[in-house]
Amino acid sequence: MPASPQDILQAFDTLPQSEQQLVADEIIRRVAPWGVDSIDDAELLFLTAERFRSLDAEELS
């Protein structure tokens, strides 16, 4: 039986932040509306870093 979305999110939450960022990188790469191969690594790192900064800011407020 496949894992549920909630199971996946719970597993994600247990990962160290560096590994969470790697997973987020891959998710962004796979779901990018402009195509998987059209985003370069620098842009991908920027997008995920910005996403994690916004998450950190939300947690601090």
Asked if 25 and 48 count as a contact pair (C-beta separation under 8 A), the reply is yes
Rounded distance between C-alpha atoms, residue 46 and residue 15, angstroms: 20
Tens digit of pLDDT at every position of the chain (61 positions): 788 888 888 898 999 988 888 888 788 777 776 665 666 778 777 777 777 776 666 565 5
pLDDT at 2: 83
Name the strand (E) or helix (H) holding 53. Answer: helix 41-60
Q: What tokens were used for 11?
A: 């597993």
